[in-house]
């Protein structure tokens, strides 16, 4: 009996060595003389591998990217370049296919035989193979490449742990699934970069030489192919191979056909990632590919939730599978990935849109609209988007067609100029209804729609009132925007026990809000740009017979107040509130569920807030911007968990006091009358403050006191970011006076002990143009003679006139918490102003940056009870246009951060 932990060999060593060395090299993909751009990519990856003489330890590196992006090519070229540095090497290609066909035991044998150059007897159990790999390779410096991994079991069986291999070993893993790499705890992940236009042209021209073709025609058509491929090497190689023996007319025909029918070989490779998804993830991906590319993620998530697609985890999976990306808050994907999605939806029924699951193309919409709804089976259609431009050539709007889509789950419909909806609209299976148009009503009376989760009404200027909600027991989201004639919401809304999101925005005639005291689960309430609302409820208070028309939100978690004797009332819907012996009606919010409240630009003033009861124990976000308040004192409001407060553009606001100690973010941009800021020394979780605007009235002393709270008294300095913006024509925070140097960029050198001795770094920029964002890069600068601090410096005193000062802080712990890996070899931090328009950066700019030492353990400001800061107490941003600090990319070579101190809706 032989111990499975021992190497099992047989036969003559020399002959077997030669035989298996040949087998090893047969595993390596053949060299490709047409490789373009590979040298730079191999060099960049080699830098991450730390192959120098002093490189110790075992590193596992993942190469991750979309199918056809060159992962295998990069791994193969790297292997050829560095394999001679190791005591044993193995390249296992196409693991997904081979593990399924031959089993993991066969692959374990190949690793052992290739590295040792000896024949290995059959391994019958995966567990035996694990022990054999570990016991035979733990002392050897090896290079192992696992190509096309798609299952965690493959990694566990073949390269289970770092301690399986000897010092200096490098394990390279290529995959389309980032989650596999994260779960296996690889040291770093390298994202493949697609070819730029120049590289793509070079690759295509090598594969499809010009030969006898007209140069001008050839170049024009070649650029068309490159545009279509969008830098994907697979697409360029496949198309070049197909076109290489075709004439110019055949090229033109082929390119025209690609717009209608994608190349099957390209799609087959790309679709592998899609095929590995769960059904709910496939649905989510196809919806994004057909309807939501370029759409803000937050807006689309509302629809996905309504359709039961669990989008938070689903979107994460699609990103990790390299099928989609999020860019500036919007969904993005490669053109060919989107084309693959379209092809999957249409399948073999290219010219029969009634058999497609999704309808989004103008031609298909027009074809559907022209059908006889009574004779066509439209039961395949799950989702449809109909825009106004699609009506150009429609003889009429066939509303009955939509009513006959029995499996329709969501519709985004610009109804246009048509008549009222058919009696059968909406279909009973509908979960999400988004409407624009000129209808005066959605439907008459009661309509039972048990599956409807979301209604969004937009730009329906002839709509007088919202529909009867009585037959919508499961409605969760109701939004009405930019509908100028709507004056009120139907009173049946108070019966929606499942409603969590209610939004009324830009409805200029809206003035009557119904009692919503029975809506138990409401989490978000948005009332924005409804200028007649304040006037409407004030007028209503003068008529005792119309008390229920008053704008009051009184929720059932607490009781109201008796209007006669000032005692608590058992009537939770009681609309009147007594204060100091007199009847008073105002804004009243009592809810245990409400987490977000926006009351923006509704002409509310001091009389609307001063004496009202607000008891919102779980409110996190409050937006009172663009109103008429002169004083706001939050000490009389019960908001113990408030994190985000926005009072921007309250131009009459003079005093802001009683700021809750729980506050994390404070925005008061454009408050030109603001003179007094309440005490923030108790606000331990404060990290974002903005007093931005040309006419901000905050005093220099007030600004300095708030900045002191941020930098010296709070918790953010150890574990979070800090962003402080202050607009003043004559003031620089005293901490930075006489230290600023001229320039649009600044470079800070890091000492060798920076990771242990410092908690983060602080940046200050003052300028007299309105810089909106900054790029921060931590990296290793190999030029030891590079300038220590500034690109461009002046001995002049800083000018006394600056429009704005921006102070930013980045803690090293916050970078790690967001997934960045801090390389101790980083020795430089560079900061530069980012401007979308060069003209906005014509002016004076001054910079300074410094490292912030770690706080001493005996420092009284450090919390010692918990050891670590509870970072959940900081406000977690999810801005539609990008967060204040965004880690744009990170690797062993560098970390790139975008800092956007100013908030834009």
Query: Which of 191, 210, 229 is where one domain is finished?
Result: 191
Residue 893's contacts (CB-CB under 8 Å, 6 or more residues apart) are 44, 47, 48, 779, 780, 823
Residue 650's contacts (CB-CB under 8 Å, 6 or more residues apart) are 624, 625, 626, 627, 628, 629, 632, 668, 671, 674
The residues that bridge with 778 in the sheet, in sequence order, are 829, 895
Structure-block tokens of residue 354? 């009634």
Q: Return the beta strands (E) in 415-555 as ranges.
A: 432-436, 454-458, 477-481, 501-505, 524-528, 553-554
Residue 468's contacts (CB-CB under 8 Å, 6 or more residues apart) are 443, 445, 446, 447, 490, 492
My answer on whether 241 and 316 are in the same domain is no
The burial of 172, by beta-carbon neighbours within 10 Å (0-12 exposed, 13-18 middle, 19 or more buried), is given as buried
Going from the C-alpha of 865 to that of each of 640, 662, 811, 857, 862, the distances in angstroms are: 22, 18, 21, 12, 9
Put residue 750 in one of left, alpha, beta given phi > 0 → left and psi -120 to 50 → alpha: beta
Strands 432-436 and 410-414: parallel
Query: Which of 138, 157, 191 is where one domain is finished?
Result: 191
**The whole model's pTM is what?**
0.82
Q: Return the beta strands (E) in 290-350 as ranges.
A: 325-327, 330-332
* DSSP for residue 372: -
**Cβ(481)–Cβ(506) under 8 Å?**
yes
My answer on whether 173 and 297 are in the same domain is no
* DSSP for residue 810: E
End-to-end alpha carbon distance in the chain = 72
My answer on whether 145 and 221 are in the same domain is no
HSE-up (13 A, CA, CB side) for residue 610: 10
Q: Output the domain CATH number for residue 30.
A: 3.40.50.300
Query: Which of 130, 164, 191 is where one domain is finished?
Result: 191
Q: Decide if 593 is inside a domain.
A: no
Q: Decide if 773 is inside a domain.
A: yes
Residue 642's contacts (CB-CB under 8 Å, 6 or more residues apart) are 619, 620, 621, 622, 634, 660, 662, 663
Strands 358-359 and 383-386: parallel
Q: How many CB atoms lie within 10 A of CB 14?
A: 9
My answer on whether 774 and 894 are in the same domain is yes
Q: Decide if 665 is inside a domain.
A: no
Q: What would the DSSP string read from start to end of 634-651? A: GGGSB-TT--EEE-TT-T
H/E element, 127? helix 126-137
What's the confidence (pLDDT) of residue 587? 66
Q: Decide if 634 is inside a domain.
A: no
Cα gap 905→900, rounded to integer Å: 13
Total of domains in the chain: 4
- Which residues constitute the domain of residue 239? 197-266
Cα gap 568→32, rounded to integer Å: 83
Structure-block tokens of residue 415? 């109804």
Strands 577-579 and 589-590: unpaired
Burial state string for 350-367 with b = 16 or more CB within 10 A and e = fewer than 16? eeebbbbbbbbbeebbbe
Residue 839's contacts (CB-CB under 8 Å, 6 or more residues apart) are none
Going from the C-alpha of 640 to that of each of 52, 500, 644, 661, the distances in angstroms are: 55, 21, 12, 8
**CA angle, residues 895, 897, 902, in degrees to nearest 5:** 175
Burial state string for 580-608 with b = 16 or more CB within 10 A and e = fewer than 16? eeeebbbbbbbbebbbbbbbbbbebebeb
Q: What would the DSSP string read from start to end of 50-99? A: T-STT--S-EEEEEE--TTSSHHHHHHHHHHHHGGGSSEEEEE--HHHHH
- Residue 303: what are its φ and ψ, rounded to 5°? -70, -45
With a cut of 70, which residues of the chain have pLDDT below it? 1-34, 52-56, 210-215, 373, 375, 389, 391-398, 416-420, 515-517, 534-588, 609-613, 694-697, 729-730, 769-771, 782-801, 835-843, 856-882, 903-905
**CA angle, residues 342, 345, 346, in degrees to nearest 5:** 85
Cα gap 385→415, rounded to integer Å: 11
My answer on whether 309 and 227 are in the same domain is no
My answer on whether 158 and 84 are in the same domain is yes
Structure-block tokens of residue 826? 């980083």
- C-alpha closest to that of 163 among 137, 127, 145: 137
Radius of gyration of the chain measured on its C-alpha atoms: 32
Q: Decide if 489 is inside a domain.
A: no
Cα gap 164→158, rounded to integer Å: 10
By residue count, the chain amounts to 905
Q: Decide if 543 is inside a domain.
A: no
What's the confidence (pLDDT) of residue 345? 95
My answer on whether 285 and 308 are in the same domain is yes
Structure-block tokens of residue 774? 């900054």
Q: How many CB atoms lie within 10 A of CB 251?
A: 22
Cα gap 795→432, rounded to integer Å: 63
My answer on whether 141 and 242 are in the same domain is no
My answer on whether 116 and 225 are in the same domain is no
Cα gap 268→284, rounded to integer Å: 20
Q: Decide if 312 is inside a domain.
A: yes
My answer on whether 744 and 838 are in the same domain is yes
Structure-block tokens of residue 391? 């009506």
What's the confidence (pLDDT) of residue 1? 34
My answer on whether 185 and 204 are in the same domain is no
Going from the C-alpha of 730 to that of each of 218, 485, 570, 714, 767, the distances in angstroms are: 61, 47, 56, 27, 11
Q: Decide if 839 is inside a domain.
A: yes
> Where do we find the tokens 């309440």?
678
Prior bond of 813 cis (ω within 30°): no
Cα gap 292→648, rounded to integer Å: 31
My answer on whether 95 and 23 are in the same domain is yes
């Amino acid at each position: 009996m032989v111990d499975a932990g021992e190497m099992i060999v047989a036969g003559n060593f020399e002959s077997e060595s030669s035989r298996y060395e040949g087998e090893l090299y047969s595993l390596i993909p053949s060299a490709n003389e047409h490789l373009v751009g590979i040298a730079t990519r191999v060099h960049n990856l080699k830098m991450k591998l730390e192959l120098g003489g002093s490189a110790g330890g075992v590193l596992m590196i993942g190469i991750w990217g979309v199918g056809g992006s060159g992962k295998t090519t990069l791994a193969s070229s790297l292997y050829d370049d560095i394999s001679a540095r190791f005591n044993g090497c193995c390249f296992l290609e196409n693991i997904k296919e081979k593990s399924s066909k031959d089993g993991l035991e066969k692959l374990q044998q190949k690793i052992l035989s290739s590295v040792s150059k000896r024949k290995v007897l059959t391994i019958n159990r995966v567990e035996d193979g694990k022990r054999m790999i570990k016991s035979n390779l733990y002392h050897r410096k090896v290079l192992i490449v696992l190509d096309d991994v798609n299952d965690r079991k493959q990694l566990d069986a073949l390269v289970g742990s770092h301690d399986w291999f000897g010092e200096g070993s490098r394990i390279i893993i290529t995959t389309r699934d980032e989650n596999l790499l994260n779960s296996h705890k690889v040291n770093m992940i390298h994202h493949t970069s697609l070819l730029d236009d120049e590289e793509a042209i070079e690759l295509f021209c090598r594969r499809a030489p010009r030969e006898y073709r007209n140069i001008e025609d050839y170049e024009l058509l070649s650029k068309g192919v490159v545009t279509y491929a969008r830098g994907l090497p697979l697409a360029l190689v496949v198309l070049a191979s197909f076109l290489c023996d075709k004439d110019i007319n055949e090229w033109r025909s082929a390119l025209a056909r690609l717009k209608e029918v994608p190349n099957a070989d390209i799609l087959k490779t790309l679709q592998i990632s899609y095929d590995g998804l769960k059904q709910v993830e496939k649905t989510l991906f196809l919806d994004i590919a057909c309807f939501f590319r370029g759409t803000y993620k937050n807006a689309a998530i509302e629809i996905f939730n309504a359709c039961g697609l669990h989008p938070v985890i689903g979107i994460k999976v699609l990103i990790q599978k390299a099928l989609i990306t999020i860019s500036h808050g919007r969904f993005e994907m490669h053109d060919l990935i989107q084309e693959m999605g379209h092809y999957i939806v249409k399948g073999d029924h290219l010219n029969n849109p009634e058999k497609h699951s999704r309808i989004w193309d103008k031609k298909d919409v027009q074809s559907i609209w022209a059908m006889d709804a009574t004779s066509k089976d439209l039961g395949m259609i799950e989702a449809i988007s109909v825009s106004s431009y699609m009506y150009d050539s429609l003889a009429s709007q066939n509303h009955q067609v939509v009513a006959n889509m029995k499996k329709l789950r969501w519709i985004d419909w610009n109804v246009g100029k048509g008549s009222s909806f058919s009696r059968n609209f909406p279909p009973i299976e509908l979960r999400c209804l988004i409407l624009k148009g000129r209808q005066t009503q959605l439907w008459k009376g009661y309509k039972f729609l048990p599956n409807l989760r979301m209604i969004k009404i937009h730009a329906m200027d002839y709509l007088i009132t919202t529909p009867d909600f009585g037959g919508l027991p499961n409605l969760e989201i109701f939004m009405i925007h930019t509908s100028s004639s709507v004056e009120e919401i139907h009173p049946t809304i108070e019966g929606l026990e499942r409603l969590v999101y209610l939004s009324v925005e830009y409805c200029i005639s809206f003035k009557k809000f119904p009692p919503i005291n029975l809506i138990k689960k409401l989490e978000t309430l948005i009332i924005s740009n409804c200028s007649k609302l304040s006037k409407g409820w004030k007028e209503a208070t003068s008529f005792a017979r119309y008390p229920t028309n008053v704008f009051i939100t009184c929720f059932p978690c607490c009781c109201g107040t008796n209007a006669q004797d000032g005692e608590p009332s058992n009537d939770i819907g009681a609309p009147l509130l007594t204060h100091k012996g007199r009847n008073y009606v105002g804004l009243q919010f009592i809810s245990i569920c409400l987490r977000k409240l926006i009351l923006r630009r509704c002409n509310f003033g001091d009389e609307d807030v001063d004496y009202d009861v607000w008891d919102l124990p779980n409110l996190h976000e409050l937006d009172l911007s663009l109103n008429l308040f002169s004083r706001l004192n939050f000490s009389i409001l019960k908001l113990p968990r408030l994190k985000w407060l926005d009072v921007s553009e309250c131009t009459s606001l003079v005093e802001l006091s009683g700021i809750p100690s729980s506050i994390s973010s404070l925005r008061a941009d454009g408050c030109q009358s603001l003179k007094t800021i309440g005490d923030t020394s108790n606000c331990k979780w404060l990290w974002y403050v903005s007093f931005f605007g040309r006419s901000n009235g905050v005093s220099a002393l007030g600004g300095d006191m708030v900045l002191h709270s941020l930098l010296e008294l709070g918790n953010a300095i150890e574990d979070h970011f800090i962003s402080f913006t202050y607009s003043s024509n004559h003031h620089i925070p005293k901490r930075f006076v006489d230290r600023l140097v001229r320039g649009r960029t600044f470079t800070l050198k890091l000492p060798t002990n920076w990771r242990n001795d410092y908690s983060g770094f602080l940046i200050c920029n003052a300028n007299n143009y309105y810089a909106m964002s900054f790029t921060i890069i931590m990296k290793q600068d190999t030029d030891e003679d590079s300038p220590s601090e500034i690109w461009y410096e002046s001995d002049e005193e800083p000018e006394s006139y600056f429009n704005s000062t921006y102070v930013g802080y980045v803690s090293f712990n916050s970078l790690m918490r967001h997934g960045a890996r801090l390389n101790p070899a980083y020795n430089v931090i560079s900061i530069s102003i980012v401007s979308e328009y060069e003209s906005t950066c014509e002016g004076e700019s001054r910079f300074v940056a410094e490292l912030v030492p770690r706080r001493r353990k005996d420092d009284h400001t450090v919390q010692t009870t918990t050891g670590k800061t509870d970072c959940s107490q900081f406000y977690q941003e999810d801005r539609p246009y990008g967060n204040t600090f965004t880690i744009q990319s990170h690797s062993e070579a560098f970390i790139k951060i975008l800092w956007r101190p100013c908030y834009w809706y």
